[in-house]
Amino acid sequence: MKITSLDALQIFDSRGNPTLEVIATVENGISGHGLVPSGASTGHHEALELRDGDRSRFRGKSVLNALSHVKHEIADAVVGRDVFDQTGLDEAMIRLDSTPGKSRLGANAILGVSMSVANAAAKVRGIPLHESLTGGTGTLLPLPEIQIFGGGKHAQGRIDIQDFMIMALSASSYEETLEMTFNVFHAAGDVMRKRGLLAGVADEGGYWPVFDRNEDVFEALLAAIELVGYAPGKDVGISLDIAATDLYEGGFYTLGLEQRRFRSHEFAELMINWVQNYPIVSIEDPMAEDDWEGWKQVRGAIGSRCQLIGDDHFTTNLQRIERGVAEQTANAVLIKLNQIGTVTETLRAIECTQRAGWLPVVSARSGETEDAFISHLAVATNAGQLKVGSFSRSERMAKWNEVLRIQRQLGSSARFKGAKLFAEAGISLP
Ligand code: PGA
Ligand code: ZN
User: Measured in angstroms, how far is the CA atom of residue 84 from the centroid of ligand 1?
Assistant: 31
Contact at 8 Å (CB) between 77 and 89?
Answer: no
Q: Is 336 a catalytic residue?
A: yes
pLDDT of residue 330: 98
| Ligand 1 atom closest to Cα of residue 285 | 8
pLDDT in tens, 246-297: 999 999 999 998 899 999 999 999 999 999 999 999 999 999 999 999 999 9
Q: Report whether residue 366 contacts ligand 1, using a CB cutoff of 6 Å.
A: yes
Catalytic residue (choose from 204, 284, 345, 402): 204
- Helix, strand, coil content of the chain in percent (nearest 5): 45, 20, 35
pTM for the whole structure? 0.98
Other beta carbons less than 10 A from residue 135's beta carbon: 9
Mutational test site, ligand 1, from 41, 45, 336, max ligand atoms within 8 Å of CB: 41
Work out the end-to-end distance of the chain between its first and last CA atoms, rounded to an integer number of angstroms. Answer: 52
Ligand 1 proximity of 363 Cβ (cutoff 6 Å): yes
Task: Find out whether the beta carbon of 17 lies less than 6 Å from any atom of ligand 1.
Answer: no
| Domains, the chain, with CATH or none | 3-126 (3.30.390.10), 140-424 (3.20.20.120)
Could you report the per-residue pLDDT of 122-179, keeping only the tens digit for each? 999 999 999 999 999 999 999 999 999 998 888 887 889 999 999 999 999 999 999 9
Residue 137, CA distances (Å) to 66, 130, 140, 382, 417 in order: 34, 9, 9, 8, 16
Pairing state between β 248-249 and 252-255: antiparallel
Nearest CA to 94 out of 317, 344, 337, 381 is that of 344
| Angle, helices 174-195/394-410, rounded to nearest 10 degrees | 160
Closest listed residue to residue 76, CA positions, set 87, 92, 88: 92
The amino acid occupying position 401 is N
pLDDT confidence of residue 336:
98
Spatial CB neighbours of 23, under 8 Å, sequence gap ≥ 6: 6, 7, 8, 9, 31, 32, 33, 34, 116
**Three-state secondary structure call for residue 247:** helix
Residue 40 CB–ligand 1 contact under 6 Å = yes
**Pocket of ligand 1 contains residue 148 by CB under 6 Å:** no
Ligand 1 centroid distance, CA of 336 (Å): 9
The rounded Å distance from CA 385 to ligand 2 centre is: 14
| Among candidate residues 56, 80, 72, 62, the one with its CA nearest the CA of residue 105 | 72
d(CA 237, CA 28) in angstroms, rounded, equals 49
- How far is Cα 90 from Cα 341, in angstroms, rounded to an integer? 9
Question: 13 CA to middle of ligand 1, Å?
Answer: 14
Q: How far is CA 217 from CA 126, 158, 168, 272, in A?
A: 47, 12, 18, 17
Rounded average pLDDT per 10-residue block, the chain, 430 residues: 98 98 98 98 96 97 98 98 98 98 98 99 98 98 96 84 96 98 97 88 88 89 97 98 96 93 98 97 98 98 98 98 98 98 98 98 98 98 98 97 98 98 95
Q: Are 339 and 359 in contact (CB under 8 A)?
A: no
Whole-angstrom distance, CA of residue 67 vs CA of residue 226: 49
**What's the rounded Cα separation, in Å, for the pair 233 and 169?**
8
Alpha helices in 3-106 (DSSP H): 64-69, 75-78, 86-97
The pLDDT of residue 211 is: 87
